[in-house]
Amino acid sequence: MREAREKKSRKWVRPRYVPKRKVCFFCQNKTEVIDYKEAEKLRRYISDRGKITPRRKSGTCAKHQRLLAMAIKRARHLALLPHAPSHIRETEGAGLSG
């Protein structure tokens, strides 16, 4: 009796959700160098809190994630991108696309 119930319940189990694999934007466009001076491109990879988005969220490959992080840090150093969320709030998101 118990085995019959288990078989019946397995029949109606929903298949597991498998998300579509994200493709690296930079690999797709065959980008060799990620330039820190292109702040508009880099803003896509910064959260509303001013943090660098992780690979699993942005979809970049490991190689380009490392280059991206370095470019964002250089742009922050030259004040092309915001460092802290307080700066974003004061300027009403002027450092980010929105």
Are 81 and 46 in contact by the 8 Å Cβ rule? The answer is yes
The count of domains in the chain is 1
* 11 falls within a domain: no
* 87 falls within a domain: yes
Tell if the pTM clears 0.75, that is, is over it: no
The whole-number pLDDT of residue 82 equals 84
Domain around 73 = 24-98
* 83 falls within a domain: yes
Measured CA distances, 82 to 30, 52, 65, 86 (Å) = 27, 11, 19, 9
Give 10-residue mean pLDDT values along the chain (98 residues).
56 79 90 92 90 92 96 94 72 56
| CATH code: domain of residue 42 | 4.10.640.10
